[in-house]
Chains A and B, each alone.
Chain A
Amino acid sequence: MAVRFTTGDRVTVRDLEAEEGLRGHMRAPVYCRGMTGEIERLCGTFGNPETLAYGGDGQPAQPLYRVRFQQSQLWPDYTGPTRDSIEIEVYQHWLKAAQP
């Protein structure tokens, strides 16, 4: 699977459970779905855990990114400084370019 994003790109996490009815083993935490963050780095390309978890081959392998989010966006009641952040590993097929 070709690498689509690079460090600094703004991306939004898709919700494949809602959009495509995906069920079972998923690694994108619910709390970041629909949220927009910034690519911190490309980690490499790895087998897709959604099929690996069930004895599948994990193909096509997916680029994996670390995505940085602002805590205050994820949690409206966040009380810490607005610069506080969280970085989450998200596979490429869960990401789309953020609306400008």
Chain B
Amino acid sequence: MTQDHHAHHHDHSHDPIEAPDTSNSDTALLADALRLVLIEKGGFSAQDVQDQLTLMEGRSDRNGAAMIARAWVDADYKAALLANGKEAAKTLGHDTKGTPLVVLENTEDVHNVVVCTLCSCYPVTLLGPSPEWYKSKAYRGRVVRDPRSVLREFGTDIGNGREVRVHDSTADMRYMILPKRPPETDHLSEAELAALVTRNGLIGVTEL
């Protein structure tokens, strides 16, 4: 990357915390070697690896988005979602494999944001594979102690009249944010509403 990469004007958005390319890291090479040995020894097949990758790629933030859109149009579903996220996910056909899901509602008083400081815990079934920045030490280290600055880097300016509440996903819960419904969306269908829900909104680093 050239020194002046960020000096030029651009109007596209990108995640502010960039992670280095680690594909040639010792860890990645070790993982590759281990995989090849395990295939050779019959632990699993190359097809198993491909099947698992396909399964992983099928997990998408559209699942979480559909749950949020339903909550915006159906007060009973919203109550169920906030009371027991895992069961509410199941009613829309998403199985979190026994992992409890805590859904946190953003309001005029509170803005919620999720991190896992210990590793990278994340509701993959509902949000898809986590972005690189979510796993970066920079995000994990900074968002717990200076969340407002990190949120500003994502373009999210939370006024001092609202509480910022960080959720550190350190153990057995997984988290998803119920964002505030964007204004002037009364005329939209549930599917159109779901299209407005972004992955970053479900993590809480942006508002919709």
The verdict on A74 contacting B165 (CB below 8 Å), with A43-B172, A64-B172 known, is: no
Name the distance in Å between A8's Cβ and chain B's nearest Cβ: 17
Selected contact of A87 from candidates B100, B148, B160, B166, CB within 8 Å: B166
Complex interface residues of chain B between 24 and 74 (CB less than 8 A to chain A):
none
Give the distance in Å from the alpha carbon of A71 to the alpha carbon of B145 in the complex: 7
Chain B residue with the shortest CB-CB distance to A43 = B173
Are the CB atoms of A89 and B172 closer together than 8 Å?
yes
Interfacial chain B residues near A100, Cβ < 8 Å: none
Are the CB atoms of B171 and A44 closer together than 8 Å?
no
Interfacial chain A residues near B160, Cβ < 8 Å: 80-81
Are the CB atoms of B173 and A85 closer together than 8 Å?
no
Interfacial chain A residues near B173, Cβ < 8 Å: 43, 64, 66, 89
User: How many of chain A's residues have a CB under 8 angstroms from any CB in B?
Assistant: 27
Chain A residue with the shortest CB-CB distance to B166 = A86
The verdict on A74 contacting B171 (CB below 8 Å), with A85-B163, A87-B166 known, is: no
Name the distance in Å between B106's Cβ and chain A's nearest Cβ: 14
The verdict on A28 contacting B170 (CB below 8 Å), with A81-B163, A85-B165 known, is: yes
Chain A residue with the shortest CB-CB distance to B168 = A88
Give residues in B with beta carbon < 8 Å to A. Answer: 100, 102, 117-118, 144-148, 160, 163-173
Give residues in A with beta carbon < 8 Å to B. Answer: 27-29, 31, 43-44, 46, 49, 64, 66, 68, 71, 74-75, 78-81, 83-91
Given A31-B145, A86-B165, A88-B168, 11 more pairs with CB closer than 8 A: A29-B170, A49-B171, A68-B165, A79-B146, A80-B164, A81-B160, A86-B167, A86-B168, A87-B165, A90-B170, A90-B171
* 9 closest residue pairs by CB, A with B: A89-B171, A86-B166, A88-B168, A46-B172, A83-B163, A89-B170, A84-B164, A85-B165, A75-B145
